[in-house]
Amino acid sequence: MSSESGNIWDSAAASEAGTANGRILAFARSQLGAIQDCTVLGEGALRAAGVTGVGDESPESLMAFATPVSDPQPGDFVYYADGGMGFSHNAIYLGNGRAIHSGWNGNQTVEESVDVGSGPVYYRVNG
């Protein structure tokens, strides 16, 4: 377990699902309630999917590990040029118009609408 920014990443829980999107989704759900910003959520999700080389990222640089898609699926990354607070943001898509966001309400990780800020742009992790 890592305590960086309150991150409570549990690799065993994250590896329950077989696909990269499944592992990302399991990881994101395990973070609900954690106090962290959106990049910590994204970095942990990438690691859970088996992506190497993830460091101290920004929301924009996290998307370098993924490819834009027009058919969003649960477990895809969501990028916002403006998350509604004047700066970029990333989240994990749950499906049905919902996403897991970190950095909300005092940096909490919560489930909210995917339609915030400048609007969602979807990315799927490479691999």
Residue 13 has pLDDT above 60, yes or no: no
- Among 3-7, 27-31, 67-71, 112-116, name the one with the lowest average pLDDT: 3-7
Residue 126, pLDDT score? 75
Task: Classify residue 44 by its DSSP letter.
Answer: H
Three-state SS at 124: strand
15-51: pLDDT as tens digits: 445 899 999 999 999 999 999 999 999 999 999 999 9
Residue 14 has pLDDT above 80, yes or no: no
Q: Which residues of 58-95 are buried (b: 16+ CB within 10 A; e: fewer)?
A: ebeebbebbeeeeebebbbbbbbeebeeeebbbbbbbe
78-125: pLDDT as tens digits: 999 988 888 899 999 999 999 999 997 778 999 999 999 999 999 999
Residue 111, pLDDT score? 97
